Amino acid sequence: MKMLVTGGAGFIGSNLTEILVENGHEVVVLDNLFLGKKENLSSAVDSIEFVEGDVCDRQLVFEIMKDVDYVFHQAAASSSPMFAKDLRGAVAVNVDGLINVLEAAKMYGVKRVVHACTSSIYGNNPVPHSEDMHVEPPNAYAASKFAAEHIGRIYSAENGLETVGLRYFSVYGPHEKAKGKFANTVSQFMWDMKDGRTPVIFGDGSQTRDFTFVRDVAAANILAAKRPGISGQIFNVGTGVSKSFNDIIDMLNAGLGTSITPKYVNNPIKNYVKDTLADTRKAEKMLGFRARISLEEGIKEIVSLEESRM
């Protein structure tokens, strides 16, 4: 099978690409290398076709879509701060980029497009967050991702192209370094603490997230591509377990052998989301997905990988 991974040199896309190659698939990666880097694909570089380019380049998207069986659309402006810097450009990536992918996929008879959304669309709804819950995007980033998700579902219904949307919950893991200040809290705290710096927490550290290891997210994508009878559906991709930022500090101290106390500061972010937690029942029942890697196991792995580079 021939697979296209947009954003395939990025954090989630590169982990997914590695697994697809391991599974024997032909893989085309499209990435503009803004948040991705070719080094993320070092283990698969000889087995893929890499195309440097942007999902907003409509002609290029159509050119590379020929003969593709499945699309994993991971390319995105994937963090709220990006929208403060360039609102129009970030929205274009998230919305126009998906439209280009959908139209090209329809033209070339792609079997299914799996596209990524975010748990941020739930805002400060009560937890756990279920897929049928009324969403409350708290910022432009979340609003653009929800708009794209909704377009994907409508396009599928109107044009017969199979699509599946995945709402990611706080993804962390290997290959995140290139995201820098846009990386997940777990990774940012680890980088600070490893180098002896004090991590900064907004508020008192009691806020919680459903932290999901990146290989579990990749596994959910593969299931979403192949599972029959789920076109047009939306699924949460999380663990169903939440931990506080203070819990993360404790786990990292244990893993790194440190005893660093974070610095607590007033929260400057408007509409800050206090808690996230995935209701995983729909994904378990219809998608056959259950996260396999606990937060403790995931932190142990990324700490080990980081220490191996020292």
* Enzyme catalytic residues: 141
* Nearest one of 150, 183, 179, 170 to 273, comparing CA atoms: 170
Distance of alpha carbon 271 from alpha carbon 269, whole angstroms: 6
User: DSSP class of residue 287?
Assistant: I
Distance CA 258, CA 228 (A): 48
Query: Where do we find the tokens 């609102």?
Result: 87
Q: How many CA atoms lie within 13 A of 86 on its CB side?
A: 7
Report yes or no: 114 and 168 within 8 Å, Cβ to Cβ.
no
Q: Count the residues in the chain.
A: 310
Strands 2-6 and 70-73: parallel
Helices 97-107 and 140-159: crossing angle, nearest 10°?
20
Q: Which of 30, 31, 1, 5 is nearest to 18 (CA)?
A: 5
- How many CB atoms neighbour CB 259 within 10 A? 8
Contact by Cβ (8 Å): 133, 127: no
